[in-house]
Every structure is written in C-alpha cells, then in structure tokens.
C-alpha cells in the first residue's frame, strides 16, 4: 500500500520504518530538514534497539522516502499523523503540531483517502479534525488508531502490538476505513493480534486511560514504598506477593524513582486538564495524587543523599549511574535520574555522571553535570554512588571492584536493581527504595 507518515519523531520514525518493514511503500514527512536528512541517510536520530536495522533495510529496498515537502504525500491512500503533542504551559496538551499537520495535509488529499491519527490527543480532538477534513475533502475520512509503543521496544510494539484499536465513524466511511487499516496491518492481524473497532472518542480515551492506569500502578507501589520505609518493610517482597494475584499482576509494580519520559507524566496532566474542560475534573482528581507521589520519589532520594552525606553536600563527590528515564533508551525527557543529578549539583555536589546512551542528550539540557564515559570513572573517589537507571551494565557491576574505586562505600539503589546482599558483603551501606 502507498502510505504517508506525517511527523518523524519517536513515533513517526519508528512507524514509517515499520510500515516499510511490513512491505508498504512509505513517504515520511517532517518540517525539520536536519531530521529528514539524517533519516534519509539511515541515521536514527535517537537510540532505539532494532530501528537502525529496519531503517537500513527500508532504504535499501527503496520502500521508504524522507522529505520536508508535504506535497509528496499525494498518491498515498493512508496518511498517518504522528506528530508530537507536548505539554503546554497549563498542563493541557499543545495541539499546534497536530493542527498544523492536518492543515498542511488537507490540500494534498483525494477522495477515498484516510487520515489516521496516531498521536496522543485530548478526547474530542479527532471529531473536530474529522469535521475539518471532510469539510475540505468530502470523500476523505479521518480515523484514530492510537499507538501503545514503549521506548526500547518500539519496533516490536509497532509490528507485533498486543492489540490494535481503530476509532472510526459509523456507516460506510467507517467500514471502508476498517478495511483500509486491515490492509495496512494484514501481517500483524495474520499473527493473531486482537483488533478492536470503536468510535473516535473511545479510541482517544483508550490511549490516555491506558497511560493513566500504568502511571497509577507505579504510584501505587511507590506509595507502598513510602509506608514500607517508615515501618521497615520490604516493598519488593510486597510487590512479589501481591503480584501473584492474577487480578493485580506483577508488571509495573517496581518501586523506585517513579515514572518519567515523554509520555506518562504529560499524558496524566493533559488528561486532567481535558476532564476539567469537560466539567468532569473530579473524576480524575486522583491523578493529581499519582503525579505528587511520583514527584516525591525524586525529592526523597535527594533528602536521602543529603542524609548519607551527613548534611554536607557542598563539595562532596557523587557518582551517578544512569540518566535516561529508563534503560535501553537515550531519552532524558522528564527523567527522574537527570532531575536528581541536577538537584545535587544545585546543592553544591560535584556530580560525575555516566549513562550507556544518554550522556549526549543529558548534556544538551544539563551542561552543569560532569559527564564521564564509564561507570568506573563515575564512581571513582565518590563519597556516594547513586544508581538511578536500571541498565544491565549497572545490575552486573562487581561490587568488590567498585568498593576499590570509591572514597566511601555508600550506594543508593534508586531502582532496586542491585544484589543487595552482594553489595553489603563487599562493604557497602546500601539504601534501596522502600526496603
Ligand atoms: C509508555 C507506555 O508504557 C506505552 O504503552 C505508551 O505507548 C507510551 O508511554 C506512549 O504513550 O507513547 P514509555 O514512556 O516508553 O511507554 O515508558 P514505560 O516503559 O511505560 O516507562 C515509563 C516510566 O515508568 C519509566 O521512567 C520507568 O522507569 C517507570 N516505571 C515503569 C517504574 O518506575 N516502575 C515500573 O514498574 C515500570
């Protein structure tokens, strides 16, 4: 099928390359010429396992083209909208890019085309955009097909998602849209992926409610961590025990520094803002607590660091392991790890930081940290070591060797990812989260 993808950020670049991988003929458009040039050269602008390989394959096969010229979408039957919806100043989603993408796309649409929204938008956006598309091109149809990909697993989640959700209008246009999307995802559907056909508003809500639920699950366990810390209980053992109940499940019950990244934090705020606009703000009041619990984890680690440095942070050397918001990513957007490292610098500490992938992205927004190129260099002569992102490289560090490098053997395990007994046996004072 001839497909266009508007927006080549995280979602769009992965989606475009994945569509080519599925055998489609893809034209990918972005307003940023630097990004387009890099992608056209097969150079992924961010770290995502598997993306460089499928990008190279797509380019070699001639099934993908990158351009800044929106006119190139003419002739595609399905046009995916994959632009960003960042957090605006009030917490509500900023729809500037979505609106601009639709305005830029409409002049190039033909009857029988489908505009397929993938971006995370406030409920009601799709209906508004559908009206403006059909007003300009009555034979074109706008539908919503939310994305559930996780960074670090983005390619796998796009090609083999755990479900496909189509939000379509009722009637013949909706039926035709379902048929077109079934053709796009033929391989995925043949693998047995469940597919749910719903209305536009439900499709938009599925996405934000899924992220709100995941954020709530993480904050729930972090709230238990706060209580466990007071009573001397172990939140990891607690999570294991409640996680055996299939109704609860063990996934997303890892206590630690909480959630960050480009999705969960902004999505729960935008969801609350939208609910307030709709007059049902009360329904999502609990998300304010989810957000507050989450942000308290960062403050807690800063306080713990101060305590472990006996109140005198100024002039102390702190070795920070991990800056990305989660492992297998170079993304530092709203990263708890980077936030904590920056706060310690503000308090006067000398922070040596190392992340296997995120040193570069972190240095762009937090130049005040000292970036080093190995875990050893980060912990050398440290008065305190903080493990803030659970990369495998840190899980498998040899504590005896680290003990020989640091000035004082004290470690905060911000992600409960270290072998506590091994680190204690190597002479470390180990402080975990909620244990
Ligand atoms: C999230 C959702 O998981 C995806 O389904 C969704 O498609 C995506 O947002 C999006 O809206 O685009 P992602 O931001 O890649 O994906 O990251 P997650 O794997 O959800 O992790 C989010 C944060 O929660 C990370 O900082 C992670 O460290 C933290 N986390 C996760 C915990 O603190 N504890 C856990 O048990 C799990």
What are the sequence ranges of the domains in the chain? Answer: 2-198, 200-435
> What confidence score (pLDDT) does residue 221 get?
98
Here the contacts of 363-368 (C-beta below 8 Å, separation 24 or greater) are 365/332, 365/338, 366/338, 366/341, 366/342, 368/342
Intra-chain end-to-end CA distance of the chain, in Å: 53
237: Cβ–Cβ under 8 A, 6 or more apart, which residues?
none
| 273, pLDDT greater than 90 | yes
Q: Do the domains at 2-198 and 200-435 have one common CATH topology?
A: yes
Q: Once rounded to an integer, what is the mean pLDDT over residues 353-373?
A: 97
Alpha carbon separation from 224 to 137, 177, 214, 231 (Å, rounded): 53, 45, 16, 11
User: Residue 336 and residue 299: Cα distance in Å, rounded?
Assistant: 10
> What confidence score (pLDDT) does residue 101 get?
98
Architecture in CATH for domain 200-435: 3-Layer(aba) Sandwich (3.40)
Could you read off the pLDDT of 116-128 as tens digits, one per residue? 999 999 999 999 9
User: Residue 336 and residue 219: Cα distance in Å, rounded?
Assistant: 14
Count Cα atoms within 13 angstroms, Cβ side, for 78: 27
Rg of the chain, C-alpha, whole Å = 23
User: Residue 325 and residue 338: Cα distance in Å, rounded?
Assistant: 8
Nearest ligand 1 atom, CA 261: 14
Residue whose token pair is 């009041």: 285
| 265, pLDDT greater than 90 | yes
> What confidence score (pLDDT) does residue 293 get?
98
Identify the band that residue 188 occupies on the pLDDT scale cut at 50, 70 and 90. very high
Of 391, 405, 261, 368, nearest to 322 by C-alpha is 391
Q: Once rounded to an integer, what is the mean pLDDT over residues 272-298?
A: 98
| pLDDT above 90 as % of the chain | 100
Q: Does the active-site annotation cover 417? A: no
Annotated active-site residue in 184, 263, 275, 351: 263
Q: Once rounded to an integer, what is the mean pLDDT over residues 297-317?
A: 96
Q: Once rounded to an integer, what is the mean pLDDT over residues 296-317?
A: 96
Identify the band that residue 162 occupies on the pLDDT scale cut at 50, 70 and 90. very high
> What confidence score (pLDDT) does residue 309 get?
96
**375 SS3 class:** helix
Average pLDDT, the chain: 97
Looking at 27-85, list the stretches that DSSP marks H as alpha helix, in order from N- to C-terminal side.
Answer: 33-40, 51-61
Q: Is 0.85 surpassed by the pTM of this model?
A: yes
| 255, pLDDT greater than 90 | yes
Nearest ligand 1 atom, CA 251: 36
Q: Once rounded to an integer, what is the mean pLDDT over residues 278-289?
A: 98
**110 SS3 class:** coil
Cα(259) to ligand 1 centroid in Å equals 7
User: Residue 185 and residue 179: Cα distance in Å, rounded?
Assistant: 10
Could you read off the pLDDT of 167-177 as tens digits, one per residue? 999 999 999 99
> What confidence score (pLDDT) does residue 66 get?
98
In this structure, which residue's CA is closest to atom 13 in ligand 1?
150
User: Residue 162 and residue 156: Cα distance in Å, rounded?
Assistant: 10
Q: Once rounded to an integer, what is the mean pLDDT over residues 321-339?
A: 97
Cα(192) to ligand 1 centroid in Å equals 25
Sign of CA dihedral 217, 202, 153, 195: positive
Could you read off the pLDDT of 194-215 as tens digits, one per residue? 999 999 999 999 999 999 999 9
| 40, pLDDT greater than 90 | yes
> What confidence score (pLDDT) does residue 311 get?
87
> What confidence score (pLDDT) does residue 57 get?
97
Superfamily classification of domain 2-198: NAD(P)-binding Rossmann-like Domain (3.40.50.720)
Nearest ligand 1 atom, CA 262: 14
> What confidence score (pLDDT) does residue 339 get?
98
Q: Once rounded to an integer, what is the mean pLDDT over residues 93-118?
A: 98
Q: What's the DSSP call for residue 70?
A: G
């Amino acid at each position: 099928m001839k497909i266009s993808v508007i927006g080549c950020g995280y979602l769009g670049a992965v989606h475009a390359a994945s569509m080519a991988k599925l055998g489609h003929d893809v034209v990918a458009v972005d307003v940023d010429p630097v990004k387009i040039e890099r992608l056209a050269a097969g150079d992924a602008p961010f770290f995502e396992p598997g993306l460089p390989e499928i990008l190279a394959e797509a380019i070699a096969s001639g099934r993908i083209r990158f351009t800044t010229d929106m006119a190139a979408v003419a002739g595609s039957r399905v046009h995916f909208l994959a632009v960003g919806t960042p957090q605006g100043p009030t917490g509500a989603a900023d729809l500037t890019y979505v609106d601009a993408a639709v305005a830029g796309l409409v002049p190039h649409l033909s009857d029988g085309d489908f505009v397929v929204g993938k971006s995370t938008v406030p409920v009601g956006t799709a209906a508004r955009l559908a009206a403006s598309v059909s007003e300009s091109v009555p034979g074109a149809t706008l539908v919503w097909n939310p994305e559930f990909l996780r960074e670090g697993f983005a390619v796998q989640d796009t090609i083999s998602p755990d479900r496909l959700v189509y939000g379509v209008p009722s009637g013949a246009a909706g039926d035709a849209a379902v048929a077109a999307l079934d053709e796009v995802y033929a391989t995925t559907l043949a693998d047995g992926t469940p597919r749910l056909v719903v209305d536009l508003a439900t499709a938009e809500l599925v996405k934000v409610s899924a992220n709100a639920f995941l954020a709530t699950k993480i904050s729930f366990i972090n709230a238990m961590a706060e209580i466990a810390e007071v009573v001397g209980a172990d939140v990891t053992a607690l999570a294991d025990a409640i996680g055996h109940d299939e109704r609860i499940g063990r996934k997303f019950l890892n206590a630690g520094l909480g959630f960050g990244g480009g999705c969960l934090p902004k999505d729960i705020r935008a969801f609350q803002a939208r609910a307030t606009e709709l007059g049902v703000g009360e329904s999502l009041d609990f998300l304010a607590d989810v957000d507050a619990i989450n942000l308290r984890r960062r403050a807690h680690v800063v306080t713990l660091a101060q305590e472990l440095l006996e109140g005198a942070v100024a002039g102390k050397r702190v070795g920070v392991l991990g800056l990305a918001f989660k492992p297998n990513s170079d993304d530092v957007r709203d990263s708890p790890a980077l936030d904590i490292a920056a706060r310690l610098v503000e308090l006067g500490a000398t922070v040596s930081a190392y992340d296997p992938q995120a040193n570069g992205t972190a240095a762009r927004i937090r130049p005040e940290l000292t970036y080093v190129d190995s875990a050893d260099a980060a912990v050398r002569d440290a008065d305190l070591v903080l493990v803030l992102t659970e990369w495998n490289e840190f899980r498998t560090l040899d504590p005896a060797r680290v003990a020989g490098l640091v000035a004082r053997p004290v470690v905060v395990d911000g992600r409960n990812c270290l072998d506590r007994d091994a680190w204690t046996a190597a002479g470390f004072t180990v402080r975990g989260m909620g244990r």
